[in-house]
Amino acid sequence: MFRLTLLLFAFASWGEVRAADVVLLKSDSLDAYSETAESVVESLDVPVVVYDLEGDRTRAYSVVARLKRRPPKVVIALGKKAAYAAHRKLPDVPIVFGQVTHPERYGLQGPQLTGVRHEVAIDEILSYLRLFVPDANRIGMLIWQGNQDQKVTEAIQGARELGYTVRALRVNNAEDVPGAFMRLRREIDVFWLVPDHFVVTPENFRFLRDETQRLKMPLIAYTENLVAAGALMAAGPDRKAVGKQLASLAVSVLDGASPEVLPMVDPDSIRVVLNRSTQEAIALEIDEAMLGFVDEVLQGDE
């Protein structure tokens, strides 16, 4: 039986449970999803059924198969597993999704889909880099050869427009990353991880984290999870704010709007996370006054 992490039913009578209008699917039990899910539920005035898919694809497909028998009016999906399973198995149900990086990679496009983009403007990320590492002038990146994402091009161009020298190397596969970084390391002051599933494997992340710390080099990431795992900092969408935005989109669907006329929206606010232990490991001095711009300071690999 599937575990419901949060269950709110509206009862037509004591003996009859009315079909849920809103179902929320969480890809996993991670705090990032749970915090957004709680914000969604708090922001809606209608009952919500929340399923935790626990990172299991088989579980995800089984849950949405059950939902297909009694489809809700709208599904709110958090994370790529939840969004992909709902889109594949519930093609006629409106889906509002969030916390998915590069949704087009997973085929999350179509008239029944809308949501909140999981991205931050390049100039905002770089403004925090300038704030915390003002002496850095040379940024390094590693990008898979087949990655043609426009956001990567925008990141490189944006950094150059702000006066940074950008050294971006292309790699043919994940195994090329350590060698490419070793060739790059003497030419850069900062290493910037951009979303690239060939480059940012668990093994490569550990290598890059350890090497940048050994070199006393800031490692800039794109998710809080990577900061918790040892990157210096990341600026990303505020999870609670995203929950409110997803709830607002869901309300529009419940009021009769088609997702087709509800364009994807940008995050309302940004959340900045800094790893204090990494800061100390690379001997980076940050004025305590600057920490007022940080939403959360992590201690160690949390």
pLDDT digits (tens, 9 = 90+) for 266-275: 998 989 999 9
pLDDT of residue 7: 42
In this structure, whether the domain defined by 122-236+271-298 belongs to CATH 3.40.50.2300 is answered with yes
Question: For all residues of the chain together, what is the average pLDDT?
Answer: 88
Q: What is the pTM of this model?
A: 0.77
- How far is the CA of 81 from the CAs of 33, 59, 60, 91, 227, in angstroms? 12, 10, 7, 15, 22
Give the separation between CA 297 and CA 277, rounded to whole angstroms. 9
At which residue do the structure tokens 């795992």 appear? 229
Give the separation between CA 67 and CA 1, rounded to whole angstroms. 14
Element (H, E) at 195: none
Q: How far is CA 284 from the centre of its chain?
A: 26
Is residue 19 very low, low, confident or very high in pLDDT (cuts 50, 70, 90)?
low
> Reduced to 3 states, what is the DSSP secondary structure of residue 12?
strand
173-186: per-residue pLDDT in tens?
A: 999 999 999 999 99
Is residue 4 very low, low, confident or very high in pLDDT (cuts 50, 70, 90)?
very low
Domain boundaries, the chain: 6-118+238-261, 122-236+271-298
Give the separation between CA 114 and CA 234, rounded to whole angstroms. 25
CATH topology identical between 6-118+238-261 and 122-236+271-298: yes
Residue 40 clears pLDDT 90, i.e. is over it: yes
- Asked if residues 121 and 271 have their Cβ atoms less than 8 Å apart, the reply is no
Please state which architecture CATH assigns to domain 6-118+238-261: 3-Layer(aba) Sandwich (3.40)
- What's the rounded mean pLDDT across residues 180-209? 94
What Rg value do the Cα atoms of the chain yield, rounded?
21
Give the separation between CA 51 and CA 17, rounded to whole angstroms. 17
100-152: per-residue pLDDT in tens?
A: 987 887 889 899 999 999 888 888 888 999 999 999 999 999 999 988 878 88
Is residue 300 very low, low, confident or very high in pLDDT (cuts 50, 70, 90)?
low
Residue 13 clears pLDDT 80, i.e. is over it: no
Q: Between 266 and 3, where is the model more confident?
A: 266
Is residue 30 very low, low, confident or very high in pLDDT (cuts 50, 70, 90)?
confident
At which residue do the structure tokens 């290493």 appear? 191
pLDDT of residue 248: 97
Q: What percent of the chain has pLDDT over 90?
A: 66
pLDDT of residue 31: 85
